[in-house]
Amino acid sequence: MKNYKTQFLNLALKHGALKFGEFELKSGRISPYFFNAGLFNTGYAVAGLGQCYASALNNIDINFDMLFGPAYKGISLVALTAAMLAENHGVDYPFAYNRKEMKDHGEGGTNIGATIKGRVLILDDVITAGTAATQAVKIIHSEGAELAGIVVALDREEVGRESRLSAVQELQNKIGVPVRSIVSLTDLISHLESGSELEKFLPAVREYRKRYGVPLNE
């Protein structure tokens, strides 16, 4: 597993953004793990998160000209990632984001930041229903720009209630561009298998994947 993946998992565990136990999801399923990007809520935590996204972008097969963050969590993600790409990787990408409410004073509108143009890469935390990402895609296309792809923190690799595809796979099929993640459930299991003190949670995570995970050959 690549270093940035291990760094992300360690960071998430350190700050409580990744937890193990029993958690009821919106789907009604009881998951043995839970991820909440909102718990990256200190300066050091978000700096580390931005660096993980920046490292991931240097390792994915997507060419892009700028970053876009869907409101609300995507807003901080694009700012942090752009800063870390500039500071630690020597590349200066413009970024933009949207507000959910139309502003009727000042400059107005819903888009903030750089002009949306060229090949645009969306950053978000997770894909569940894909609502925020789908809205972001509409914004990018309405500006005459090209959607390059989407990168999220975690891909649960979990089938939907009425589908054998994961939320990430369904969105990828819908929009026709790559959807990538910093880590996936496969990476999480590999991390647990590495002999850490969290290895005790491995049987529950494996069983959950057996019940709800996407087929490994797809």
Look at residue 107 in the predicted model and tell me its pLDDT. Answer: 53
User: Span 112-126, mean pLDDT?
Assistant: 96
Are 102 and 110 in contact, with CB atoms under 8 Å apart? yes
Q: CA–CA distance from 36 to each of 18, 39, 58, 96, 188 (Å)?
A: 7, 6, 24, 23, 15
191 is catalytic: no
pLDDT tens digit string along 32-89?
A: 999 999 999 999 999 999 999 999 999 999 999 999 999 888 999 999 999 999 999 9
Give the Cα-Cα-Cα angle 151, 156, 160 (nearest 5 degrees): 110
pLDDT at 217: 57
**Does the structure show a pLDDT above 60 at 106?**
no
Bigger pLDDT: 38 vs 102: 38
Active-site entry in 2, 14, 100, 103: 103
Indicate if the pLDDT at residue 218 is higher than 50.
no
Q: Return the sign of the alpha-carbon dihedral for residues 137, 138, 143, 145.
A: positive
Give yes or no: 105 in active site.
Answer: yes
Across the chain, mean pLDDT equals: 92
What domains are there in the chain, each with its CATH number?
A: 3-212 (3.40.50.2020)
Give the span between the Cα atoms of 66 and 145, in whole angstroms. 10
Between CA 23 and CA 218 the distance in angstroms is 27
- In the prediction, which pLDDT does 58 show? 95
pLDDT tens-digit map of 134-148:
899 999 999 999 999
Report pLDDT digits (tens) over 163-209: 888 989 999 999 999 999 999 999 999 999 987 788 999 999 999 99
Place of tokens 């009604």: 28
pTM of the model as a whole: 0.92
Count of other CB atoms within 10 angstroms of residue 116: 21
Percent of the chain with pLDDT over 70: 93
The share of the chain scoring above pLDDT 90, in percent, equals 78
Whether 101 shows a pLDDT value over 70: the answer reads: no
pLDDT of residue 62: 95
